[in-house]
């Protein structure tokens, strides 16, 4: 059994990035070599130097929805609704801030544009809410883009919390490793011969939750909706068979790809899939698809930190994080990046 406390580490609060790097690809990049344990310090745009013409870069094209909606109960009390997951066009699982939000309570949101009623309370304390109209078409005017709880500064341009390739609406948090890419950087990668492919995994709030159990094996992993398209699965299998590397952009892409390995046929590395995944990757897990990982610096005790530790080995990850703190890298969603090869 592995102790959750082993994935804690000291982090000065001032190293939690409050603003994104400008431009996107000017963030710092720590390059971690798994074979030698060597650590280099570069700038994110230098990532091109480490990728090969035979590589396939796979990124998550999920887009953050404006999931925070403000309103009032019919009795007048203030309410904040945070959309977590769409169950049907008019039913959503939500986090709700407000007094006595019991089943049957009605709320009015967006200055009267939409009404909703609490249908039930889940085991985890979230609410299932039914809205009087389909939400998605009016969300851009109704809602606000949510930022993680550790970011206290206002974001002037909401698009800076979206990747430049975000296409599929559904996340309540950004797949943050992808925030470092620019159109120009992607063009340079293509010119070098690196191919790009996209999967989708809609990021849920569970991604920010620290593991509370004493041992990580006891943790019940949150599930997220994703899809790995047929043509992407084919390109991954072709790349692996021809000796190329699969470069995963972010832990969400990693989960999507390694979930695909669950459905692979004999002789294949991955298969197409669509639906919910609850794959929990922690030390002891044997990677089947991902060869290179691009990721940010993650929260203590988080499942994301455990996923990366399974890729680097715990000792090397501890060394890298200690180095990052010492050299004052910026941490979390708007922070700097790590390339693990």
Query: What is the tens place of the pLDDT at every residue in 277-292?
Result: 999 999 999 999 999 9
Q: Give percent of the chain with pLDDT exceeding 90.
A: 91
d(CA 91, CA 117): 10
Nearest C-alpha neighbor of 256 from the set 290, 222, 286: 290
Query: Do β-strands 337-340 and 292-296 pair in parallel, antiparallel, or remain unpaired?
Result: antiparallel
pLDDT of residue 83: 94
Q: How confident is the model at residue 274 (pLDDT cuts 50, 70, 90)?
A: very high
In the predicted structure, residue 275 carries a pLDDT above the cut 80: yes
In the predicted structure, residue 92 carries a pLDDT above the cut 90: yes
Q: Do 232 and 198 contact (CB within 8 A), yes or no?
A: yes
> Residues spanned by CATH 3.40.1780.10 within the chain?
4-64+156-340
**23 to 4, 164, 165, 187, 254: CA distances (angstroms):** 36, 12, 16, 16, 25
In the predicted structure, residue 251 carries a pLDDT above the cut 90: yes
| DSSP output for 93-151 | EEEEESTT--TT-EEEETTTTEEEEEEEE-TTS-EEEEESS-SGGGHHHH-B----TT-
Q: Match domain 68-142 to its CATH number in 3.40.640.10, 2.40.10.240, 3.40.470.10, 3.40.47.10.
A: 2.40.10.240
d(CA 313, CA 257): 20
Q: Is residue 179 helix, strand or coil?
A: helix
The secondary structure of residue 265, as a DSSP letter, is P
Q: Do 308 and 319 contact (CB within 8 A), yes or no?
A: no
Please state the pTM of the whole predicted model.
0.94
10 Å CB burial of residue 66 (0-12, 13-18, 19+) is middle
Query: Do β-strands 28-32 and 39-43 pair in parallel, antiparallel, or remain unpaired?
Result: antiparallel
Q: Is residue 295 helix, strand or coil?
A: strand
> Residues spanned by CATH 2.40.10.240 within the chain?
68-142
Q: Residue ranges of the alpha helices (H) in 126-268?
A: 139-142, 183-192, 230-241, 250-261
- How many other CB atoms are found less than 10 A from the CB of residue 262? 12
pLDDT greater at residue 306 or residue 222: 306
pLDDT of residue 18: 97
pLDDT of residue 107: 96
Q: Give percent of the chain with pLDDT exceeding 70.
A: 100
Average pLDDT of the residues in 262-269:
97
pLDDT of residue 233: 98
d(CA 203, CA 207): 7
Q: Which residues contact 231 (CB under 8 A, 6 or more apart)?
A: none
Report the range of poorest mean pLDDT among 27-36, 179-188, 199-208, 307-316.
Answer: 199-208
In the predicted structure, residue 36 carries a pLDDT above the cut 80: yes
d(CA 241, CA 94): 43
CATH of region 4-64+156-340: 3.40.1780.10
What is the overall mean pLDDT for the chain?
Answer: 96
Report the range of poorest mean pLDDT among 118-127, 242-251, 301-310.
Answer: 118-127
In the predicted structure, residue 208 carries a pLDDT above the cut 80: no
Q: Which residues contact 319 (CB under 8 A, 6 or more apart)?
A: 37, 39
d(CA 111, CA 92): 19
In the predicted structure, residue 338 carries a pLDDT above the cut 90: yes
d(CA 139, CA 137): 6
- Is the peptide bond between 310 and the residue preceding it cis, with omega within 30 degrees of 0? no
d(CA 226, CA 232): 13
pLDDT of residue 53: 97
pLDDT in tens, 225-249: 999 999 999 999 999 999 999 999 9
How far apart are the two ends of the chain, measured CA to CA in Å?
27
pLDDT of residue 206: 79
């Amino acid at each position: 059994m592995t102790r959750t406390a082993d994935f804690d580490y000291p982090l000065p609060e001032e190293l939690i990035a409050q603003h994104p790097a400008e431009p996107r690809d000017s963030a710092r990049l720590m390059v971690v070599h798994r074979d030698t344990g060597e650590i280099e310090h570069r700038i994110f745009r230098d990532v091109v130097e480490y990728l090969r013409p035979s590589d396939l870069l796979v990124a998550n094209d999920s887009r953050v929805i404006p999931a925070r909606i403000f309103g009032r109960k019919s009795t007048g009390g203030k309410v904040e609704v945070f959309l977590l997951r769409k169950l049907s066009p008019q039913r959503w699982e939500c986090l709700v801030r407000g007094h006595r939000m019991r089943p049957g309570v009605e709320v009015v949101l967006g200055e009267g544009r939409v009404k909703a009623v609490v249908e039930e309370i889940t085991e985890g304390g979230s609410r299932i809410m039914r809205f009087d109209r389909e939400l998605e078409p009016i969300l851009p005017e109704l809602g606000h883009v949510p930022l993680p709880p550790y970011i206290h500064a206002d974001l002037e341009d909401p698009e800076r919390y979206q990747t430049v390739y975000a296409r599929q609406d559904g996340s309540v948090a950004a797949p943050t490793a992808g925030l470092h890419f620019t159109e120009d950087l992607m063009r340079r990668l293509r010119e070098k011969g690196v191919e790009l492919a996209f999967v989708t995994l809609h990021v849920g709030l569970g991604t920010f939750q620290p593991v509370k159990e004493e041992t990580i094996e006891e943790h019940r992993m949150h599930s997220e909706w994703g899809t790995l398209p047929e043509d992407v699965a084919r390109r991954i299998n072709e790349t692996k068979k021809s000796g190329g590397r699969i470069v995963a952009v972010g832990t969400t892409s990693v989960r999507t790809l390694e979930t695909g390995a669950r459905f692979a046929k004999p002789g294949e590395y991955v298969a197409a899939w669509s639906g919910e995944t609850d794959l929990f990757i922690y030390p002891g897990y044997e990677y089947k698809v991902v060869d290179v990982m691009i990721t940010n610096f993650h929260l203590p005790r988080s499942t994301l930190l455990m996923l990366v530790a399974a890729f680097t080995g715990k000792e090397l990850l501890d060394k890298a994080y200690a180095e990052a703190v010492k050299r004052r890298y910026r941490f979390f969603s708007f922070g700097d990046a790590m390339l693990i090869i």
